[in-house]
Amino acid sequence: MSAQKDRWVSSLVFLLFCASSIPRCGSAGLRQEPSPQRYFSALEAGRASLAFFTPSVSPGAQPFLEQIESSAEALQDYGISVVKVNCPKEDVSRYCGKENALRKAFLFRGTLLIREFPTDALFDVNSIVANVLFALLFNEVKYVETLADLENIENVLKGKSNMVFAYVPATGTAEHRAVMEAAFVYGTIHQFVLTTEAALLKATSHGDPDVASAWLLFCHCQRATDPAQPCRRTALGQPLTLLNIHRHLKLMGAPLVTEVAEDPEKISTVHLQLGLPLVFILSQKETYEADRRTAEFVAWQLLGKAGVALLSRDLVDLNVLHRSNVALKTPDEGMPIQYLVLEDTDEVVTLVEDNNKVKQIQEDEQEEEEEDEDEKDNNQDIQDDQVVEAVSRDKKRELPLEQVLVLTEENFHSSLSEAAQTVVLFYASWEAVSLAVLRSYSEVADHLKGTPGILLSRVNCWDWPGLCCQENVTQFPTIRIYKKGQQSVTYDGMWGTEELSSFILLSRVSCPLKLATMDEAEGYLRGEFPSELSSHFHTSLLGIFSTATSKAREAFEEAGNILSGHVRMGMYFEDDALALSHKYSVSPPAILLARSGGRSVEGIPLSKHSVQDVVQMIRYELLDIFPEITVPNLPQYLQLRKPFLILFSDGDISQMESKEMLKLAKGRAQQAFVACWLNLKKTPVGHGILRTYFSTVPSLPVLVWVNLHAGGQVFQFPSEQSITAVNVLSWMEQLQAGLEAPSSTLSEEDWKPPLPAYNFLEMMETSVPELSLHTSPHPGDTPAQHPPKSPGGDTAIREGPSQESTAEEVGSPGRNLRGTAPRLAARDKQGKRHSEL
Amino acid sequence: LGLALYAGSLCAVSGATFLYHDYCVIGAGPAGLQAAYLLQQAGRDYVVFERSHAPGSFFALYPRHRKLISINKQYTGKSNSEFNLRHDWNSLLSHDRRLLFRRYSHDFFPDADTMVHYLEDFASLLKLRVQYNTAIIHVTLEKNEQAWNGHYFLLTDQDRKNYKCSSLLVATGMWVPNVVNFPGSEYVEGYETVSINPKDFAGQTVLILGRGNSAFETAENILGVTNFIHMVSRSRVRLSWATHYVGDLRAINNGLLDTYQLKSLDGLLEGDLEDLAIIKDKKGKLHITLRFYLENRNISAGINSITLPQDELDNFATRAPYDRVIRCLGWKFDFSIYNRSLRMMPGKGNIKKYPQIKPSYESRGTQGLFVLGTASHSVDFRKSAGGFIHGFRYTTRAVHRLLENRHHGVPWPSTVYPITQLTNSIIKRVNEASGLYQMFSVLADIILLRENATAFEYLEEYPVGVLAELEMQTGRKAPNGLFVIIMEYGRNFSGADKDVFYYNRAVGEAQHAWQSNFLHPVIYYYKRLPTEREMRLRPPDWPLPRPDAIHHIVEDFLTDWTAPNAHILPLRRFLENCLRTDLRNFFAESCFLFAFTRQKLPPFCQQGYVRMQGLMGSQELRHHAVQAGLLQDYSHTDFLGDRHPDSHDGSRDQLMRDHAIPVRPLQHLVNAKDE
C-alpha cells in the first residue's frame, strides 16, 4: 500500500517540480528590499510577486508578517516571490506613504498591480496561497454564484473540454488552497469552477449535503454530445486535499476502458498505480461488441473506484476456466488475479465495492497504526486478548459458586474422602483462562446440583501453591476427578459446561463397565443400563470377549481407563458371550457399537491388541460418517488430517442433500476426505468462514472443498448444479485433475505479535549513556535499538517521557488510578516526575 | 584397630586415622543447618561440625541486647506459604510446616533465644547429622586424582581427630570481632563483653565507636540513662530505608538519630578511628585526642604533658571527657584455621572481612570449598540479603543444586511447559517467589526456550553471576535463547544520601516501567547465553550484560503484579515480540474460525483447541468479548457491508470509529478580524 502511495506522491512531486521550474530569482524564501524604488526596478515582466511595505517599526503587523514569511516558500513553488519592502521614513509614495497601505499586501505581475489584499484576508499560509493563486488564476478558475452561471459554463464546454467544479465553504481555507493548487497544474486542461454558495452545492448534489465540508465534482463535458443533457459527473469521495484531487483528476483523465491483449499479470494501468483494482472483462471475438458495451457500462459505474479493461481471450492464452468472464486484479503486490464467473454487471460493481471497503478499512487501520507509531504506540496498552478482556469485564459479577466447595491445604485430604467422587478445579485467581473456566464450572455445578455422589470443589493455587505443587499441578486450569481408592483422572476435554458435565457424569461409572448378565448387556446396548447414564445420550460401546481372549481384554480395559469420561464403554465376558456375538454376527474378541439409542448395532472385530491401537480404533469408530461439524467437535475431525467437504446450510439440511451426502461419504472415496455439514444457525461463526472464502456471498446451501492441511485451496461446488453424489464425485475428480480454479487460498501467514512491545532498552539507552558503551552482545544486530544520543544530558532526557505523558494523562485521569498511592496525592505534579533524581 | 573396622568408613593415611564423608559442613548455624537439611533430603553422605554443644552458638551470645532485627510477620492477608516467606526473615527452608518461625514467636522482632531454640528444633526434628563439641582447628588439602576436585579436605578438631571430605562447606559465619588498635585502645570495652544493664550507665558519658546496628542497638539500650552518647566512625550513617539494604541501620535502632537531630545532647561524628587516641586522666575520665599529638611524646609523663585538641581549638567537638568508650565494630571471618594451600584470602576494600569467593559461592582459592551463610556475603555486600538468613537460605539451596549437578549428575530442577504458559509462569513466580524477592539482583529464574519456541523449561533461583556457565552448572541446555527473571530496585534510587521520599517516586504507568524505583521484576531476553567476557564487561551496577531486549514490570504499591492491563499485557507483548509469535488466548469459536480460514493457528489454539482442550467460554464471557470488539458476533450480522473477518481480529471498535473528516472551523477568520 505504501508503495503505491509513494508512487502517486512522487508523480505529484514531479508536477510541482515542473510548476516551480518557472524562472525565478533564485533566492529562497522571503526577499527583502531596502526601498520601494529598488523593488520596482527589480521586477521582471510576467513574473508575479507579492509585496508588502513596512515602515522600519510596525509592531502591529507582526503576526501577519510571520504568516507571510512562512508562506514565501510555498508560493515560490508557483514562481511567486514574496518581498518585504522597507519604507524609509521620509518616503511618502503610494505604497509607503498612506497609513492604510501598510496594512495591505500587493500582488504584482511584472509591474502591474493585480490585486491588493487586506492583511486580514491573509491570516495563514493556506489563505495566502489560496488567495494569491485565486487572483493569478483568474481565467483558469471561474467563480460562480448561481446555478445559471454554472450551466452556462457547462454548456460552453460541452464537446470541448471537461470541467472541475468545486464547492468550498469559505475562501482561504485549506480546501480552497488545494483546489487552487490543483488548478495551477490542471487549469489548462480542465476548466475549474469554484463557488462558496451553499445553494449551488445543494443544487448540484443529491440528498442533503453537508455545507460545512468542501465538495468536488468532475464533469465529463468533453464526451457530452447532447446539449440538452447535463454532463455526467463523478464526485470526489474523499476529503479535498491536493493529493486526493490530483488522484481523482488522474483517474478521470484515464481512458474509460483499456483494451488489452497481453497477460493480465503484466498489465499495469493508472488505476493499479493509484491503488485501485482493475476489472478485466474477458471477451471473445464473437461477442466483442457486446462485451465492449458491457465494459463501458461497468466502467461508468466504477469510475473513480476501479479501472476497466477489455481482454480478448483470443489474443491471450489464458490458463483459466473457460466459463470465467470477469477477472479482478488488486493492486496489492503478490495477490493472484481472481477469475470469476459472474452473471450481471451489478455483481461486478458489488465485487469491486466490497473489495474496496475491505481495503479502505485496512488502509484506515494502517493509517491508524502509523499514527499510533508516531504517538508511541498507544494501542499497546489496549487489551487485545479476548479472553482476558471478557473476564475483566465480567469481574464485578458475583459468581454463583455456592455449590462449589473451597478447598485449602487444611481440608483438602479430608474432603476427598467425603464423596464417592470429588471433582477439583485447580486454578489461579489472577489468570484469565482459569477464571473463564471457573465460570463454566459454576454452571456445571448448577447442572449437577443434587446428583448424588458428586462433590464439586476448587483450589486456588495462588493461595495454596504447596498443595498444587504436591498434587503435581503445574498448569492452570487443571480439573481432576478423585475417586475413593483410585488414581485421580485429569480432565482433558473441552473447557465447556456441557462437555465437562458429561465427563463428570460418565466418570461415575467405571470404564469399561463389567456387565454380568445377558440382560444387562442388551440393556446396555439400548442405553437403558446402567440407570445413572440412561438420561444421557451417548453412543454405547460394548466389548465382547470369550474368556480365552484375555490379552485383547486387557488392552480394552486399559483403553477404557484412557477414554474414561469420554466414551461409554462396557464389556461382557461371561460364558454366553458367544451367543451375544452370534446375534450381531461377529466373533469375539469384538466391539459392538450401538449408535442413536441402540437402533442400529454394528459389530467390529477387535483385531489389534495394543492399547494405543484400541484407543485409536475406538476414537475413529466413534466419529460420524457425515457429521454436523460444530465448534466442540471439529478437533476430532481435524486430527484425521484430511481435506474437508463441507456443506454450509442455513438451518437443517434437506433430506435429499443429507441422503446424497451420506451416499458420498460412505462411498469408496470415504477414506480420502471428511464429509460434513455446518448449520449456520447453530454455528453462526460459519458466516465468518464463508466471508473469508468468497468475496461475494454464495447462495446457500453451498458445498465447499477445503484442503485444510495441504495448500489451503478452497473450491466451491458450482451453484447451478444440484448436489447429488454423482455430480459431486465428478466435480471432485475435476478438482483432483486440477481442472478447477480455487475460489481462494487460505492465508499462510504466521501468527506474529499483534503489536510491538515497549522498547525499554531503547529508552534506557537514551538516558543511561553507559549502557550503549556496553553493547557487546550483538553489535549491528538491531540497528533500530541504537538511536542517536541526544546531547541534553541525564536529567534533560529523563524528563522526556514524562513530558510526553502529561498531555495524555491530563486527558484521561482514570488511568492515574493505576498509579500507586504516592502518585494519587500528587497528580498535578506529573510533569516533574523523576526530574528530582 | 577397633576403630579402623568402624563401619568401614575409616581409613588410614600416613599413619593418621580419618573419618570420611562426601560433604563436611563446618558450623551448625542457620546456613550449616540449611545445607545439612538439603544434603539429607538428597540422601547425601554429610556431617556438620559444631564447636558448641548446641546449634546457633552465635545467637546464644548475640545480639547482646537479644532483639533480632529480622522481621517475623504473622499476618500478610495471604495464605500463600511461598509469598509469606517474603516477610518471614527467620525461618529456614524445609518441608515441615512446624518449622516456621512464626510458630515460635509472635514478636515482630523476635528474641535471640527463640532463634537458638528454633535452630535446636530444626536440627533435632529433621534429625540432621550434627557432631557437636567439635571445633575444627585446622583444614588442609590432600592431593588425589580420584577425588571430586583433585583433592580431599582434611579437617582436624580440637582433640586431634581427623576427618576427610570430598567437598567442604564453610558455614562458620563471622564471629571474630573487629578490633582497632590506637593509643589508649586498652581503655575501650568491646561489644562482646560490655554490660547490657542500663543501670551500669546511669549518669555516664559514653562514646561509642562504630555506626552499625550493634552500635545503635547498644546506644538504644542506654539512651535514657546516660548524660549523653557520642558515636564516632569513619563513614556517615547509612539508613536501611534509604539504601534498601537490610544490613544498614534499621529504623528500630535509630533512637539516637532522633536525640541528635533534636539537640538532646547525643551526637554523631565522623572521623577515622586510626587517627584517634584516648588518654585516661587521674579521675578515670577518658579524653579524646589525636594520634598526631602523641607521636613525639612520652605518654607515661602523664596527661598534663599531652596536647589535647581543645588546647588549640577551644570549641573542639569531643572535648568533654567520657566515662566509657565502647567498641561496636562488627565481626570478620575466621581465616586462621585454613592451611596456606587453601588460599583462603580476604576480599579487597570494603569486603576485606569476607573470604574471596566466586558468584557461585565457591572459594577463589580452592575448588570444592564453598562458603555459605553470612560469610558468603561478599557476593552481594551492601546490595542484597545474602548475609542474612532470609537471603542465604536461598543461596545455600542454589549451592546445593550446583553440587547435585556437579557431583551426582542431578541436573538443576526444572519444569517444562508449553509456550502458552509462558506469561503465566512468569506472573506466578514474580508474585509469590520468595528467593527472587529476597535475593534480588543475585538469584534469578531462568527460562530456557525449546526449539521453535513451542515449549520452555523453567529453572528457579539460579545465581545470576554465573549465568555464562549455566549449561555446565545446571546440566540444562540453552541453545534457543533464554529469559532471565530478576528483581531490581530502580538504579540511582537507593543510597545513603538519597531522598527516597520525594514526590512522584513511584511510577504508575506501564510504559514508564523502566523508571520504576521500588523492587520490581525485570526480564532480560538473550538470543544466546552471554559469555563470560560479556558478563565481565557488563555495565556498572548491572547484574547482567546488555540483553537483546528487556522488560520491566511496573513497580506495584502492593507488590501484586497480576493486573491484566498494567502488568500482564505489557509482559505478553514483550514475550510475543521476543519470540515473534502471538500469545493471546482465544475462545474455541475463534480457533474454529482460524482452523477453517488460516493454514496456521496461534499457539493457544494449536496447543489447546486442536488437542480438544478448547476454551468454550460461558455465554456472558463471549458476550463481553463481542462487546469489547474482540469477538465477532455472526449470529446477528448480515453478509454485506461488514468488514472482512480475515483482517486481524483486533479491536473492531476502533474500526467503527467515525471516519468523517472533522469540519474545519473557520475560527481563523474570526480571530483575524478581531485583530
A18 has pLDDT over 90? no
A470 has pLDDT over 80? yes
Confidence label for B504 from pLDDT (cuts 50, 70 and 90): confident
Rounded to a whole number, what is the distance in Å from the CA of A414 to chain B's nearest CA? 18
d(CA A542, CA A562): 16
What average pLDDT does the segment A111-130 reach? 81
What average pLDDT does the segment A275-286 reach? 83
The pLDDT of residue A773: 54
A720 has pLDDT over 60? yes
Looking at the DSSP bridge assignments, the partners of residue B207 are B230, B325
Give the nearest partner residue to A431 out of B424, B632, B642, using CB atoms. B424
- Best probe of the B interface among A758, A772, A797, A806, by most B CBs < 10 A, is A758
Q: In this predicted model, what pLDDT tens digit does every residue of A139-153 receive, in sequence order?
A: 788 888 888 888 888
B478 has pLDDT over 80? yes
The pLDDT of residue B323: 94
d(CA A147, CA A169): 16
The pLDDT of residue A362: 58
Task: Map grid coordinates 525565478 to a residue.
Answer: A24
d(CA B371, CA B361): 6
CB atoms A757 and B596 under 8 Å: no
d(CA A179, CA A130): 8
CB atoms A774 and B613 under 8 Å: no
What average pLDDT does the segment B31-47 reach? 96
Grid coordinates of A294: 458491457
What average pLDDT does the segment A302-325 reach? 78
CA count, 13 A, side-chain hemisphere, A823: 23
Q: Which of B470, B579, B528 lies closest to A776 in space, CA to CA?
A: B528
Give the nearest partner residue to B613 out of A63, A384, A492, using CB atoms. A492
Q: In this predicted model, what pLDDT tens digit does every residue of A235-270 receive, in sequence order?
A: 887 888 888 888 888 888 888 888 887 777 777 888
d(CA A403, CA A420): 16
What average pLDDT does the segment A534-541 reach? 73
Confidence label for A669 from pLDDT (cuts 50, 70 and 90): low
Chain B residues closer than 8 Å to A779 by CB: none
Q: In this predicted model, what pLDDT tens digit does every residue of A618-656 receive, in sequence order?
A: 888 888 888 899 999 999 999 888 899 999 988 888 888
What average pLDDT does the segment A405-415 reach? 91
Grid coordinates of B202: 546511669
B315 has pLDDT over 80? yes
Confidence label for A436 from pLDDT (cuts 50, 70 and 90): very high
The pLDDT of residue B95: 92
CB atoms B630 and A781 under 8 Å: no
Relative to beta strand A674-679, strand A644-649 is parallel
What average pLDDT does the segment A496-501 reach? 91
The pLDDT of residue A399: 86
Chain A residues closer than 8 Å to B564 by CB: 383, 388-389, 391-392, 432
The pLDDT of residue A327: 84
B450 has pLDDT over 90? yes
Residue B556 forms contact with A (CB below 8 Å): yes
Residue B647 forms contact with A (CB below 8 Å): yes
Give the nearest partner residue to B503 out of A497, A818, A826, using CB atoms. A826
Task: Map grid coordinates 517516586 to a residue.
Answer: B505
The pLDDT of residue A537: 64
Chain A residues closer than 8 Å to B671 by CB: 123
Element housing A195 (H / E) = strand A191-195
Q: In this predicted model, what pLDDT tens digit does every residue of B150-207 receive, in sequence order?
A: 999 999 999 999 999 999 999 999 999 999 888 888 999 999 999 999 999 999 999 9
CB atoms B81 and A465 under 8 Å: yes
What average pLDDT does the segment A167-194 reach? 86
DSSP secondary structure letters along B454-502: SEEEEEEEEEGGGGGGHHHHHS---TT-EEEEEEEPPTTT--TT--TT-
What average pLDDT does the segment A294-315 reach? 83
d(CA B92, CA B100): 8
A90 has pLDDT over 50? yes
The pLDDT of residue B614: 93
End-to-end CA distance of chain A: 46
Cβ atoms B110, B90 nearer than 8 A: yes
Q: Where are the alpha helices (DSSP H) in A43-193?
A: 62-76, 94-97, 125-136, 147-157, 174-186
What average pLDDT does the segment B262-277 reach? 89
Rounded to a whole number, what is the distance in Å from the CA of A286 to chain B's nearest CA? 35
Q: Give CA separation, B452 vs A517, B580, B584, in Å.
A: 55, 10, 17
% pLDDT > 90, chain B: 72
d(CA A494, CA A100): 84
What average pLDDT does the segment A451-474 reach? 91
For chains A and B, CB pairs below 8 A equal 401
Rounded to a whole number, what is the distance in Å from the CA of B558 to chain A's nearest CA? 8
Element housing A645 (H / E) = strand A644-649
- Say which residues have a Cβ less than 8 Å from residue B233's Cβ, sequence separation at least 6: B209, B210, B211, B215, B270, B271, B273
Q: Which of A129-133, A208-212, B470-474 has the lowest mean pLDDT?
A: A208-212
The pLDDT of residue B206: 95
The pLDDT of residue A157: 84
B379 has pLDDT over 70? yes
Chain centroid to CA A693: 15
d(CA B578, CA B597): 26
Q: Which of A400-404, A495-499, A833-837, B191-195 has the lowest mean pLDDT?
A: A833-837
DSSP secondary structure letters along A166-189: EE-SSTTSHHHHHHHHHHHHHTTT
CA count, 13 A, side-chain hemisphere, A816: 20
The pLDDT of residue A769: 65
Q: Which of A86-90, A406-410, B125-129 has the lowest mean pLDDT?
A: A86-90
CB atoms A495 and B613 under 8 Å: yes
Max mean pLDDT range (A222-231, A689-698, B439-448): B439-448
Grid coordinates of A160: 470541448
CB atoms B628 and A393 under 8 Å: yes
Grid coordinates of B483: 529469559
A705 has pLDDT over 70? yes
Residue type, A267: I
Rounded to a whole number, what is the distance in Å from the CA of A65 to chain B's nearest CA? 13
Chain B residues closer than 8 Å to A802 by CB: 512
Grid coordinates of B638: 448480515
The pLDDT of residue B222: 94
Q: Which of A183-187, A696-700, B299-303 has the lowest mean pLDDT?
A: B299-303
A699: closest chain B residue by CA = B639
The pLDDT of residue A378: 63
Q: In this predicted model, what pLDDT tens digit does every residue of A68-82 receive, in sequence order?
A: 777 888 888 788 888
Chain A residues closer than 8 Å to B540 by CB: 770
CB atoms B643 and A354 under 8 Å: no
**Chain A contacts in chain B segment 491-550 (CB below 8 A):** 491-493, 499, 502-515, 526-527, 530, 533-534, 537-540, 542, 545-550
Q: What is the mean pLDDT of chain B?
A: 88
Show the CA angle centred on residue A326, arms to residues A324 and A330, nearest 5°.
Answer: 125
Q: In this predicted model, what pLDDT tens digit does every residue of A734-781 receive, in sequence order?
A: 888 888 888 888 888 889 999 999 999 888 887 766 665 555 444 434
Neighbours of A678 (CB within 10 A): 24
The pLDDT of residue A91: 66
CB atoms A386 and B630 under 8 Å: yes
CB atoms B589 and A631 under 8 Å: yes
Q: What is the mean pLDDT of chain A?
A: 77
**Chain A contacts in chain B segment 66-105 (CB below 8 A):** 78-82
Task: Map grid coordinates 534429625 to a residue.
Answer: B127
Chain B residues closer than 8 Å to A826 by CB: 503-504
Q: In this predicted model, what pLDDT tens digit does every residue of B195-226 receive, in sequence order?
A: 999 999 999 999 999 999 999 999 999 999 99
Relative to beta strand B443-449, strand B455-463 is antiparallel
Q: Which tops the pLDDT comparison, A765 or B359?
A: B359
Confidence label for B122 from pLDDT (cuts 50, 70 and 90): very high
Q: Which tops the pLDDT comparison, B289 or A797?
A: B289
The pLDDT of residue A823: 40
A806 has pLDDT over 50? no
A825 has pLDDT over 70? no
d(CA B214, CA B453): 52
Strand residues in B158-273 grouped as ranges (E)? 162-170, 176-177, 188-190, 205-209, 228-233, 267-270
The pLDDT of residue A599: 67
The pLDDT of residue B444: 96
B643 has pLDDT over 80? no
A29 has pLDDT over 90? no
CB atoms A390 and B491 under 8 Å: no
d(CA B493, CA A367): 40
> Which contacts (CB < 8 Å, 24+ apart) does range B528-534 have?
B528/B478, B528/B479, B528/B481, B529/B467, B529/B468, B529/B470, B529/B471, B529/B478, B529/B482, B530/A777, B530/B467, B530/B468, B531/B468, B532/B468, B532/B469, B533/A776, B534/A776, B534/A777, B534/B468
- Best probe of the A interface among B567, B612, B633, by most A CBs < 10 A, is B612
B313 has pLDDT over 70? yes
The pLDDT of residue B17: 76
CB atoms A357 and B643 under 8 Å: yes
Give the nearest partner residue to A691 out of B427, B546, B645, using CB atoms. B645
If you count DSSP H runs as helices and E runs as strands, how many of each does chain B have, helices first? 21, 23
Phi, psi angle pair for A304, to nearest 5° = 85, -10
Phi, psi angle pair for A585, to nearest 5° = 45, 50
What average pLDDT does the segment B608-631 reach? 91
Max mean pLDDT range (A250-254, A361-365, B127-131, B502-506): B127-131
B610: closest chain A residue by CA = A635
Q: Tell me, what's the ipTM?
A: 0.87
**Chain A contacts in chain B segment 111-130 (CB below 8 A):** none
Render the burial of B62-92: b for 16+ CB within 10 Å, e for the rest: bbbebbbbbbbeeeeeebbbbbbbbbbbbbb
